[in-house]
Amino acid sequence: MTTILNDAQRALLLANGRALTANPELDPAPVVKLFLPDGNAVWLLSELHADGIAFGLCDLGLGSPELGYVHFSALEALRGRDGRPLECDTAFIPSKPLSAYAWAARLAGRIVA
């Protein structure tokens, strides 16, 4: 499906997607932090569904991060100002549930990881 995610990340995102379908009250930690290296956009994704729809905290760099769904293929197609593709932050280690990142992001006006 993608070259941005490794097999373990993809498997965990899909597992979270299945778990949340069964129990929407779950609040998993984000699995990956994706970003445009030549832009301000950042995504913390916590789930992926078999149809390619991902869910997470989206910050387009406009001061209003929000939780939402995105087609993963749209993320893969993104390019920054200099034409660089989306990258995965390999140093990102989640420390709290996605809702906590969303709350902090709303206060700061950007994702604070």
pLDDT, tens only, 23-47: 999 999 999 999 999 888 999 999 9
- The pLDDT, as a whole number, for residue 2 is 46
Binned at pLDDT 50, 70 and 90, residue 54 comes out as very high
Read off the pTM: 0.93
Query: How high is the mean pLDDT of the chain?
Result: 94
**Strand order across the beta sheet in which 53-59 lies:** 66-71, 53-59, 42-48, 32-35, 87-88
Arithmetic mean of pLDDT, 85-112:
96
Binned at pLDDT 50, 70 and 90, residue 1 comes out as very low
